[in-house]
Amino acid sequence: MVWVILDMNRKKMNRKKIIAGNWKMNKVIEESLSFINELKEAVRGINDNIEIVVSPPFTALSVINDAIKGSNILLAGQDVFWEDKGAYTGEISPMMLKDVGCKYTIIGHSERRQYCNETNETVNKKIKALLRNDLSVIICVGETIEEREDKRTFSVVGRQIRDGLKGLTQKDMEKVVIAYEPVWAIGTGKTATPSQANEMHLFIRDTIKEMFEDKIASSITIQYGGSVTPLNITELMLESEIDGALVGGASLDAGSFVQIIRGAV
Ligand code: PEP
């Protein structure tokens, strides 16, 4: 028993922790800049194997990229199109995100699945487009409340993982992060309990083990997302399979985002 716990802790310590803020459709350039200046000051010196990521709207990416130079903050896009270039009015390509300094891109967020016709197939195409442009991906998965109540959580999340990661190589998987975000917990103030979240993270790791190999499954970062706040981050992070958080509402205020980061280190 003791050995099992020690082994789990060792595996967890080898995984990269990531706290990412998803700003969604919030903050014009001036607001983005004042947030980032406050954040930069507050997180100076924090590393401890933790990555701090912000995901502003497309319109603020360029200025934020300039503002974070020399800091320990990384940039993420909130979506991408699956083609490299061409006649796709209104879309943003992986190369454009790379050009503007993004390391990560969030793909498959439940709001895009709900409002923008995102499917497991388009998620898969977008992931492949990012990977062939050498960008990393945060892929969001999670069940609705109806699916949970119907006892379909495992099948829905399993399908999102299998279809989303279809055709990826072991090497590709080094650039993939998963965010488990139960839809019923997003923006509702209703967090999954740490053990509910851990159970799903374990299931996701097992699914990845079946698709790839043990080494990938035990080293992949799996974030939890859904009403994460400074008050619940530490107990979530104590779970063996939770390696970070994707934060919406509480990432919009620099003070609370910093408290979440500090609660996770
Ligand atoms: C999100 O949108 O990814 C999210 C987790 O939102 P919130 O933290 O507000 O629940």
Residue 45 CA neighbour count, 13 Å, CB half? 3
> 104-133, pLDDT tens digit by residue?
999 999 999 999 999 999 999 999 999 999
pLDDT given at position 6: 60
Q: Which residue has the higher pLDDT, 86 or 1?
A: 86
What pLDDT does 121 receive?
A: 98
Ligand 1 center to residue 21 CA distance, Å? 9
With a 6 Å cutoff on the Cβ, whether 108 touches ligand 1 is no
Atom 4, ligand 1: residue with shortest CA distance: 248
* Range 89-96 average pLDDT: 98
Contact 83, 77 (CB under 8 A): no
In the predicted model, is pLDDT for residue 1 greater than 60? no
Enumerate the active-site residues: 109, 181
Mean pLDDT calculated for residue range 150-155: 98
User: Which protein residue's CA is at the shortest distance from atom 6 of ligand 1?
Assistant: 248
Which residues sit opposite 178 in a β-bridge?
139, 222
Does the beta carbon of 94 lie inside 6 Å of ligand 1?
A: no
CA of 224 to the centre of ligand 1 (A): 10
What backbone phi and psi angles, to 5 degrees, belong to 222? -120, 115
| pLDDT at 13 (0 to 100) | 80
Give the pLDDT confidence score for residue 43 in this predicted structure: 95
Atom number, ligand 1, closest to the C-alpha of residue 109: 3
Which domains occur in the chain, in start order?
17-264 (3.20.20.70)
Q: How close is the Cα of 54 to the center of ligand 1, in Å?
A: 13
Rounded average pLDDT over 132-139 = 98
142 lines ligand 1 (CB under 6 A): no
Residues 6+ apart with CB under 8 A from 196: 182
Contact 65, 101 (CB under 8 A): yes
| pTM for the structure as a whole | 0.95
Q: Is 182 a residue whose pLDDT tops 90?
A: yes
Hey, what are 47's tokens?
């590393």
* 22 Cβ below 6 A of ligand 1: yes
> Residue 14: its pLDDT value, please?
86
What pLDDT sits at residue 115?
A: 97
**What's the pLDDT tens digit per position in 212-249?**
999 999 999 999 999 999 999 999 999 999 999 999 99
Q: Where are the alpha helices (DSSP H) in the chain?
A: 2-14, 29-43, 58-67, 94-99, 110-115, 120-132, 145-149, 153-164, 194-211, 214-219, 233-237, 254-264
Ligand 1 centre and the CA of 78: distance in Å? 13
Instruction: Kindly state the average pLDDT of the residues 57-85.
Output: 97
Cβ-contact 165, 174 below 8 angstroms = no
Mean pLDDT of the chain: 95
